[in-house]
Amino acid sequence: MATFTLLVSAIVVVMCHASKEENMGSGSTSCGKRIILPKEDRLSIYSKGNAKDGFCSILLHAMEDTSADCPYRSFCVAVNQMSMSSCSAKIFLTGTSYDVIGIKSKEISCFSHIYGAWCTQSKSLEISVIEDPTTTSNYGFNLTVLSECRSTSSGEFDPVKDNTSKKLDEIEAEMNQNRIIGVVVGISLACMFLIIMFVSYQYYKNKPTYRQQRDM
DSSP per residue, 108-139: ESSS---SSEEEE--SEEEEEEEE-TTS----
CA angle 87, 82, 15 (to 5 degrees): 130
| Nearest-angstrom CA–CA distance, 142 and 140 | 7
Q: Where are the beta strands (DSSP E) in 41-182?
A: 42-47, 55-62, 72-83, 89-96, 104-108, 117-120, 124-131, 140-150
Q: Which CATH class is domain 19-160?
A: mainly beta
Give me the pLDDT at residue 216, please. 56
- Compute the half-sphere exposure of residue 126: CA atoms within 13 Å on the CB side of its CA: 14
| Nearest-angstrom CA–CA distance, 77 and 119 | 6
Give me the pLDDT at residue 159, please. 39
User: Percent of the chain, pLDDT > 90?
Assistant: 26
Per-residue pLDDT of the chain (216 residues; tens, 9 = 90+): 443 333 334 333 333 333 488 999 888 889 999 999 888 889 999 998 888 889 999 999 987 766 667 777 889 999 898 888 778 899 999 998 887 777 888 999 888 888 778 888 888 999 999 999 887 777 899 999 998 877 666 534 443 443 334 444 554 565 567 678 878 888 989 999 899 998 888 887 776 665 555 555
The pTM of the full predicted model, rounded to 2 decimals, is: 0.62
Give me the pLDDT at residue 100, please. 74
Strand order in the sheet with 72-83: 21-23, 42-47, 140-150, 72-83, 117-120
Beta strands 89-96 and 104-108 are antiparallel
